[in-house]
Amino acid sequence: MSGNHIRPWSKIRDRLEHEYLAESLRGRLTYFATTYHAAHDGDEGRVALRLDGTEILKSNYFDRFDAMWQAYHQRQDAGMHPDQAWVQAAYDALEQGEFYQMDFYRAFSEYDSQSIAESLQSQNAVVRMFALLDRRIGKRTLEALRIPMRSQPEWLQMIYYLRLEAEGLPLQIEPTEGV
């Protein structure tokens, strides 16, 4: 891991899985990261979340770059300025659940250095993911997030529903009168 990181991966993983992770998911949800030492800069790799040993979310440098490249060209073809198209392409890729390993580490650093309320409101979806899995988020907060979660990326909604299920909360939103 490069000098950009405060902690080595083993320390980050330990904090995510033991200090922060909700009791209902401990022993079931694990984080995985590896670095591709043969990559062009030797500092990229892949990350994944595993539930009961099965990867439920994974991202790597190559998939992220491919997603960004496609989104970039779509934005440029639509007439967007190249610089703006690249920034928007990065956002589009994250919305699809594609992020660089370094993005994951930076997201952890942000999450680890702020309150849980700030993490739930972060512009970074990976930070919000960490917050949704956090032991400090109780059932009332999870219930209060039902409507706002509808506008979140699909992969983040999946993490939210995983947490609801782990907490024994209903997955369906009860219809309200007049809707």
Instruction: Give the pair of three-digit tokens for residue 37.
Output: 């030492």
Single out the residue of 104, 87, 95, 108 nearest to residue 44, CA to CA. 104
What mean pLDDT comes out for the span 46-67? 90
Q: Quick check: 156 and 128 in contact, CB under 8 A?
A: yes
Where is average pLDDT lowest: 34-38, 77-81, 82-86? 34-38
User: Which 3 state secondary structure label does DSSP give 124?
Assistant: coil
Report phi then psi at 139, rounded to 5. Answer: -65, -40
Q: How many CA atoms lie within 13 A of 157 on its CB side?
A: 13
pLDDT of 3: 44
Count Cβ atoms below 10 Å from residue 53 Cβ, excluding itself.
7
Paired strand residues for 101: none
Where is average pLDDT lowest: 6-10, 39-43, 45-49, 154-158? 39-43
What mean pLDDT comes out for the span 34-50? 75
Question: Over 50: is that where the pLDDT of 70 sits?
Answer: yes
pLDDT tier at 64 (50, 70, 90 boundaries)? confident
Which are the contacts of 169, defined by CB distance < 8 A and separation ≥ 6? 139, 142, 143
Question: Over 80: is that where the pLDDT of 92 sits?
Answer: yes
pLDDT tier at 120 (50, 70, 90 boundaries)? very high
CA atoms of 100 and 98, how far apart (whole Å): 7
What mean pLDDT comes out for the span 147-157? 94
CA atoms of 126 and 104, how far apart (whole Å): 7
Paired strand residues for 21: 134
